[in-house]
Chain A
Amino acid sequence: ILNVEQSPQSLHVQEGDSTNFTCSFPSSNFYALHWYRWETAKSPEALFVMTLNGDEKKKGRISATLNTKEGYSYLYIKGSQPEDSATYLCAFSGNDYKLSFGAGTTVTVRA
């Protein structure tokens, strides 16, 4: 069983503040690292798929970095807004193409 760990489990952010959280994954047999946003009563929605060590991706105020050698990825939210409130999931894919998810980080942005 692959260990994909996300921390913290939850966090509260004041509107306008920036925040970040972590996904750690096995550093061997790396193929891809995915980030998804999951809002209540909706399906998980893809944010980023990263495949190269040192990759940095950005989508609006959200960005992500990847370190495959040490097995971690950070997701950053700049200037948090209430609509950023959601659970953020990361998923690790090894060479077998299986995608294993972490438990998620639930972000609540307070107005």
Chain B
Amino acid sequence: DTGVSQNPRHKITKRGQNVTFRCDPISEHNRLYWYRQTLGQGPEFLTYFQNEAQLEKSRLLSDRFSAERPKGSFSTLEIQRTEQGDSAMYLCASKGDSANSPLHFGNGTRLTVT
């Protein structure tokens, strides 16, 4: 168990550019979650997967955000045409199927849009 891995750790991009983040969950975990966290707030739900199926996407998210989990392993989160308001910490977490299974978080990707 090497834990949840996120890359890159930091990303600085100019407004209007596209960015893609990667998350490698714990290998036996079927469920994978993406959250966004800004200063003073708790993690805001973005989307989650069970295996390769995307079960829900936050209604707060614009169409500029998309996520995939091909083959039910790693996941990518893409933001197109970034805006300054997208600057945040993007957290990925995975968990097992049982109700008692906790989330295991990665270290996050800090996005700064200039």
Mark B residues whose CB is within 8 Å of A: 4, 31, 33, 35, 40-45, 48, 50, 55-56, 59-60, 91, 93, 99-108
Contacts and interface: CB of A to CB of B under 8 A. Distances in A.
A53 to B, nearest CB: 13
Nearest to B105: A43
Contact of B50 (A45, A89, A97, A104): A97
Contacts of B50: 97
Contacts of A32: 99-100
Interface residues of A, number: 26
B48 A101 contact: no
Contacts of A11: none
28 contacts: A1-B59, A1-B60, A31-B99, A32-B99, A42-B107, A43-B107, A44-B43, A46-B102, A46-B104, A49-B99, A49-B101, A49-B102, A51-B99, A96-B55, A97-B31, A97-B48, A97-B50, A98-B55, A98-B56, A99-B45, A99-B48, A99-B103, A101-B42, A101-B44, A101-B45, A102-B42, A103-B41, A103-B42
